[in-house]
Structure 1
Amino acid sequence: MRFFGAVLALLLAFLANAIAGETETCANWLKTVAFAGHETDYSGVFVYQHDDNVETSRITHIVEAGAEYERLEGLDGPKSEILRHDGQVWLSSEHGMLQMDSQQGRGRFPSLLPQQLTALTENYQAKQAGKERVAGYDAQVILFQPKDTLLYSHKIWVHSESGLLLKAAVLDDKSKIVEQYAFTQLQIGGKIDRAWIKSKVAANFHDSKKAKQVDAAATPVHLNSGWAVNFLPAGFKKITELERPMHGKHLPVTQIVYSDGLSAVSVFVELNDHDEDDLDGLSNRGAMTLYHKVKGEHLYTVVGEVPPRTIAKILDSIRYTSK
């Protein structure tokens, strides 16, 4: 019995060391991935797949003297592109140029991972899931399994040399793909037309005064509204709370944002000035779920990258406490 006990102890110690080694390896990969999308020169075409839809985009990203330049073109539907540089973002379309809130576009492919990884590693178990090739490049596959069953799993394919994200998928509890981003053509480093993208951005700097901008009066105001959510999946914490005007709304809307480091959920509360109860409803696009519900005088809206049942539980737990 002592012999078998000693063998069991050795096996448990071996497994513990193996798990610790796996965790450290994945953590090192994640640190590389989190910064690679911002520090690497690349140009390519990627597809975004959700439900039965496929959307194609072309992206060019360069770094010069510590500054990022990026152009993202939509290749399907009406012509449009997004330009980013030095914390400024422009949307160019057939309707003209619009200078956007710099907060918009965070978490975009291939820069999906946050640079602050503490919350991510606390709330997900990361493990290596083999090696594959994507768009002609060798990739390390990493699987994120949530510690809360009310969340999606995430799978990423990372370029073995640069750490650039080549592919990313969101999986449901049956390992079925909910949505996926993947490069189909890609050049990492090398001769990328730097002058062209820099001149394009510079032109927008000069034309920025002509661009439509968010009205200063529409700037969000941070506050403690008194609204609270009594249910959140494990690991989710409040990131910000603010009051902001929204297009088509007569009164400001309260918005509370929660995140676990990888997924985010926004809760919106407003007075129901439509005098209707038929606004209730749930819809989703890929991993993004949106749920409206009228309760008394208020219209609640919850939107986030979590399963529908989780969105519903969050909305049903919204309560007014006190300021």
Structure 2
Amino acid sequence: MSRVGDCRVLARGLGRPMAGLALWVALAASGAMAQTPGAASGGTAAPPSLNQWLDRLQDASRRRAYIGTFVVSAGTTMSASKIWHVCDGTQQMERIDSLTGTARTTLRKNDEVLTLVPESRVAWAEKREALRPFPDQIKTPGNAIEEHYTLRLLGVERVAGFDADVLHIQPRDALRFGYRVWSEKQTGLTVKMQTLDGQGQVIEQMVFSELQLDAPVKMDTLSKLMAKTQGYKILRPQLNKTTPEAQGWRLRQDVPGFQGMSSHTRGDPAAPAGSLPMQWVFSDGLSSVSLFVEPFDAQRHRREGASSMGATHSLTVRLGQHWLTAMGEVPPATLREFAQSLERLR
């Protein structure tokens, strides 16, 4: 659940391997998606856990074919995109077209991401660890989400023509935001999601304004679109998997609940450690934080400070001869904890 550009899903796909945030496992075997989590045939339904509900949401996103228009609002900013999603059981594909702001199309097939910008005739081709559907969620290695969030069911409401269970996911501390999620009753697909601040106020919302489930989306049609790059300049950013320790960084003290998920640098992999921009991604299972560290440049890095757009906050500080930008859908205090804990090993 995650950064706002023209559309939050596009921003995640292009700028935040939010997850690289890793995918969920399936909830259950045959027929599970047509049930409320915890339902048992012929008896009283067991109370569903938060993890069961999150498994259901993510499993529905991965398994359903659908077409929809969704709207993202953050503060005074609003954007819309059209999405086509299909999965044949082994492979997933998505097409996302921006309907507001700069025209662009993002096509994703498993870990391959291609973003076409018609105005500049530029296409960005990248590899991602996983295809992250709507909504964007992660499961951390320890799967400790329930140590940091609680779940309350609020009833049933109608969204985009579908009845949906309303879930209130509340944080147990002030280091993370809360969420309200509307899960379509029959399939589990998320049709609406709100991010809530510490006072319970909505600071960001994404919702399907129209949705067609089990839509006739064809895998081969999207694959052919992904191959049509004639007339575009293809840019392939050079990303190198690494570890923070190899680049000379560590956290002096862990930020409660957040685990390191991935890290990579951009540029020549033979460059000296610490000389390339590095991104280090953390997650607590729902929220994520990215630490972007690069060599200090007096011409570009002029002012430390903080900013926000909707649920996304950022913090920039100088760390000796390096410049840190901490960014995530977390309260500002969480970013400050990361900044104060990050230290240079050499």
TM bracket, shorter-chain basis? 0.7 to 0.9
- 1:211 to partner: Cα distance: 5.5
Asked if structure 1 preserves the Cα contact closer than 8 Å seen for 2:154 and 2:167, the reply is: yes
- 1:261 to partner: Cα distance: 0.8
CA RMSD between the two structures: 2.8
Structure 2 residue aligned with 1:9: none
CA distance in 1, matches of 2:123, 2:129: 13
Q: Which has the higher contact order (CA 8 A, sep 6+)?
A: 2
2:287 paired residue among 238, 263, 284: 263
1:62–1:319 Cα change, 3 Å:
same
1:271-310 superposed matches below 5 A: 271-274=295-298, 278-310=302-334
Q: TM-score scaled to structure 2, two decimals? A: 0.76
Give CA-to-partner distance per residue, 1:136-169, whole Å, 9 cap, x none: 1111111211222221111111000001000111
1:151-190 superposed matches below 5 A: 151-189=176-214
1:229 paired residue among 220, 226, 251: 251
CA distance in 2, matches of 1:258, 1:115: 11
- 1:176 to partner: Cα distance: 0.6
Asked if structure 2 preserves the Cα contact closer than 8 Å seen for 1:244 and 1:252, the reply is: yes
Asked if structure 2 preserves the Cα contact closer than 8 Å seen for 1:34 and 1:114, the reply is: no
CA distance in 2, matches of 1:244, 1:277: 18
Structure 2: gaps spanning 5 or more residues:
1-44, 269-273
- 1:172 to partner: Cα distance: 0.3
- 1:277 to partner: Cα distance: 6.5
- 1:302 to partner: Cα distance: 0.7
1:209–1:57 Cα change, 3 Å:
closer
Does 1:82 pair with 2:106? yes
Equivalent position amino acid for 1:194 in 2: V
Structure 1 residue aligned with 2:265: 243
Asked if structure 2 preserves the Cα contact closer than 8 Å seen for 1:135 and 1:186, the reply is: yes
Give CA-to-partner distance per residue, 1:20-74, whole Å, 9 cap, x none: 954x344332221111111101111110000111101111112235322211111
- 1:238 to partner: Cα distance: 1.5
1:30 paired residue among 37, 43, 54: 54
Q: TM-score scaled to structure 1, two decimals? A: 0.81
1:76–1:207 Cα change, 3 Å:
closer
CA distance in 2, matches of 1:277, 1:77: 28
1:69–1:271 Cα change, 3 Å:
closer
1:1-323 superposed matches below 5 A: 21-22=46-47, 24-64=48-88, 66-94=90-118, 95-103=120-128, 107-108=132-133, 110-114=134-138, 118-189=143-214, 192-195=215-218, 198-205=220-227, 207=229, 212-215=234-237, 218-223=238-243, 224=245, 225-245=247-267, 251-274=275-298, 278-321=302-345
Question: Is the partner of 2:58 in helix, strand or coil?
Answer: helix
1:115–1:303 Cα change, 3 Å:
closer
Asked if structure 1 preserves the Cα contact closer than 8 Å seen for 2:242 and 2:265, the reply is: yes
Sequence identity percentage: 26
Give CA-to-partner distance per residue, 1:83-133, whole Å, 9 cap, x none: 11243211111223524323288555x232336692323332122122111
Give CA-to-partner distance per residue, 1:251-279, whole Å, 9 cap, x none: 41133221111111111222212267632
Asked if structure 2 preserves the Cα contact closer than 8 Å seen for 1:229 and 1:319, the reply is: yes
Greater helix percent: which structure? 1
Question: Is the partner of 1:261 in helix, strand or coil?
Answer: coil
Question: Is the partner of 1:38 in helix, strand or coil?
Answer: helix
Asked if structure 2 preserves the Cα contact closer than 8 Å seen for 1:147 and 1:234, the reply is: no
1:144–1:238 Cα change, 3 Å:
same
Structure 2 residue aligned with 1:12: none
Asked if structure 1 preserves the Cα contact closer than 8 Å seen for 2:50 and 2:146, the reply is: no
Structure 1: gaps spanning 5 or more residues:
1-19
Number of residues paired by the alignment? Answer: 293
Question: Is the partner of 1:27 in helix, strand or coil?
Answer: helix
